[in-house]
């Protein structure tokens, strides 16, 4: 299946924008951050149906014996993983495309800032809507973020995900420090969808 790569790879023009700043020799961290914002970074994070991180999560859950549907078009957002038995829906989110907040991978491209800003904000708004809808329909929704699947932390996150799925006692939403869920909580009104602290 096509992985959603749009084929717009004409950006490989050798444009060395990184070096045009003239502030070389200063903070290397800044340079790295910029590189993440380059087009090649962006293109490598094109949302696809079977991106590497999704495959990672699916194969882990499968190995743990869980069975699920994938990219189920019957639900808002065509969730990556649907586990009807546990009434759980899992989204595996690229940090860039889904604007993971306070996350190092979520740096904005340095060109066409307005375009990207608007686009990503639309993505986020859509995510919020879809989550709200799923919660309203009684699903538990769990977000797994790309940065949580970095090699060093991956195993821990996946184990925790498994627990989150099979322990049906705790309702809803992963404990991301994501302010969008605050907004979501307000809009969700009296439902204690967010409060998992008990
Ligand atoms: Zn992230």
| Rounded Cα gap, residues 56 and 134, in angstroms | 23
Contact 6/26 with Cβ under 8 angstroms? no
Residue 89: phi, psi to the nearest 5? -120, 130
Question: Ligand 1: distance of its center to the CA of 177 in Å?
Answer: 10
Domain annotation covers residue 10: no
pLDDT value of position 71? 87
Q: 27 or 38: whose pLDDT is higher?
A: 38
Q: 125 or 8: whose pLDDT is higher?
A: 125
* Residue 116: partners with Cβ closer than 8 Å, 6 or more residues away: 108, 109
Question: Ligand 1: distance of its center to the CA of 148 in Å?
Answer: 7
Domain that holds residue 83: 20-188
Virtual torsion, Cα 130, 136, 138, 144, nearest 10 deg: 30
pLDDT above 80 (res 159) = yes
List the one residue out of 79, 41, 53, 44 whose CA is nearest residue 154. Answer: 53
Domain annotation covers residue 26: yes
Question: Ligand 1: distance of its center to the CA of 102 in Å?
Answer: 7
Domain annotation covers residue 1: no
Per the structure, how many domains does the chain have?
A: 1
Question: Ligand 1: distance of its center to the CA of 32 in Å?
Answer: 16
Domain annotation covers residue 95: yes
pLDDT band at 30 (very low <50, low <70, confident <90, very high): very low
């Amino acid at each position: 299946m096509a992985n959603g790569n749009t084929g717009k790879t004409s950006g490989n023009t050798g444009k060395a924008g990184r070096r045009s700043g003239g502030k070389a020799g200063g903070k290397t961290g800044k340079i790295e951050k910029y590189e993440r914002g380059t087009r090649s970074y962006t293109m490598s994070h094109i949302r696809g149906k079977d991106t590497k991180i999704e495959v990672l999560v699916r194969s882990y859950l499968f190995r743990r014996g869980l069975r699920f549907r994938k990219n189920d078009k019957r639900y808002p957002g065509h969730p990556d993983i649907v586990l009807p038995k546990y009434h759980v829906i899992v989204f595996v989110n690229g940090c860039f495309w889904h604007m993971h907040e306070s996350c190092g991978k979520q740096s904005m491209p340095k060109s066409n800032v307005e375009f990207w800003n608007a686009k990503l904000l639309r993505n986020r708004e859509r995510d919020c809507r879809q989550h709200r809808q799923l919660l309203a329909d009684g699903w538990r929704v769990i977000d797994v973020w790309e940065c949580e699947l970095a090699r060093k932390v991956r195993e821990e996150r996946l184990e925790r995900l498994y627990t989150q799925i099979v322990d049906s006692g705790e309702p809803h939403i992963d404990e991301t420090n994501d302010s969008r869920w605050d907004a979501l909580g307000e809009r969700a009104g009296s439902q204690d969808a967010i409060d998992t602290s008990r």
